[in-house]
Amino acid sequence: MLPSTSGLPPISPRAYPTYADEVTRVLRDAILEGRLLPGRRLTEPELAQQLGVSRTPIREALRELEHEGLLQRVPGRGTIVAEISSQDVEEIYAVKSALESAAVRSACARISGAELAELERLLQRMKALAEAGDLLPYSRISREFHELLIRSSGNRWLEETYRTLDVRIQQLRIYALATPSRPRVSVAEHEAILAAVRQRDAAAAEGLIRDHVERAGALLSRTLRERGFPLPTAATLP
């Protein structure tokens, strides 16, 4: 199950270059993991108190996250976690589908034995997490699976383009998985994709990954239209 919204952990000096870097990481993770939901207002004084740092690194982190598209400034509301519409979802997933379809077609011709073995390892981990209902770790491993397929294409321009979209994809993925039974269906879809890639069947792999991405996007878009935010992020698998 996904964690419920909770307080942010205090910042302590560690291996991060600056306090602002660590504040950025903490806030980014909280947004991507659904602990700071779209529409949530963030203020410098509150964050500084929670994280135990001055307002200067908070200000720098908020600017960076706004640049990444995870935060937005709204007149009369201040800085909020970026809200997402069903149209945003449809447009983001359309681009994701096109990029991953191109990547998997190329990967079928170029992927190495070591990369196939790593995809299989990730898939087995996803199966175990789906059975246990651990949606947040499942989301992370699913992301690794898709990122490896992208890298396996050998197309650095495609990879760079995907990376610019990846932050918003991460933010959406956790909600796409929060529908009962979706993780198990997702596992089966990943299994079919990997089988096609292993057989170097580019046409089949491309069709399967397109269907997988478009199905997830359609499900999330429909849920947003029906319920709006906040979506249920603590769904239990049946």
Q: What confidence tens digit (pLDDT) does each residue in 133-152 have?
A: 888 888 889 999 999 999 99
- For residue 114, give Cα distances in angstroms to 119, 128, 195: 9, 22, 15
The predicted pLDDT at position 229 comes to 57
Q: Is the Cβ–Cβ distance between 7 and 35 less than 8 Å?
A: no
The predicted pLDDT at position 6 comes to 53
pLDDT, average across residues 61-89 = 91
Residue type, 88: D
Q: Per CATH, the architecture of 19-81 is what?
A: Orthogonal Bundle (1.10)
The beta strand positions in the chain, using DSSP E, are 41-42, 71-74, 78-81
d(CA 114, CA 117): 5
The predicted pLDDT at position 233 comes to 44
The predicted pLDDT at position 237 comes to 24
Q: What confidence tens digit (pLDDT) does each residue in 46-62 have?
A: 999 999 999 999 999 99
Reply yes or no on whether the pLDDT at 187 is more than 60.
yes
Please indicate whether residue 102 or residue 34 has the higher confidence score (pLDDT). Answer: 102
Confidence class of residue 3 from pLDDT cuts 50, 70 and 90?
Answer: very low
CATH class of 86-227: mainly alpha
3-state helix, strand, coil in the chain (%, to 5): 70, 5, 30
Domain ranges across the chain: 19-81, 86-227
pTM of the model: 0.76
